[in-house]
Amino acid sequence: MPWWSWILIWIALVAVSLLFYVLLGIRLFRQFMATLKDLGDAGEKLGNFSPAVLQAQPHQPAPTQGTAVFASPAQMRHDYHTSKSARREDRRQRRVQRRAARGQRQSLGDLDFT
């Protein structure tokens, strides 16, 4: 094999590897730009909430971080059961409203007799 064939082989190998890296970079850039576009669309959707929608949802104040570490177990147990019963009551009220809107029968357990 002549000496110049080795030069051609190495030039071809380098050219193919550079072409591979360029194509890989283009693909990566396109995926990155598509991700940024999707992220921007999601930001637009989340940024367009009206105050009426946010006020219509029941808002429970979130405890500040780190308070559970210093609170007593009895207090945390009480907070847990209180929030759990509030969530159950919210679900029950939504279920009653949904069934009333559809004209369906109500469950006896869902009705409020007080």
Q: How far is CA 106 from the centre of its chain?
A: 34
Asked if 93 contacts 101 with a C-beta cutoff of 8 angstroms, the reply is no
Q: Provide the domain limits for residue 90.
A: 72-104
Is residue 95 packed enough to be buried (19+ CB in 10 Å), middle (13-18) or exposed (0-12)? Answer: middle
At residue 94, the pLDDT reads 93
Task: Report the domain count for the chain.
Answer: 2
E-strand ranges in 18-105 read: none
Give CA–CA dist 25/58, Å, rounded.
48
Q: For residue range 14-64, what is the model confidence (pLDDT) as tens digits? A: 999 999 999 999 999 999 999 999 999 888 888 776 665 556 555 556 666
Shared domain for 44 and 1, answered yes or no, is yes
Q: Is 111 a member of any domain?
A: no
Per residue in 5-16, pLDDT (tens digit) is 999 999 999 999
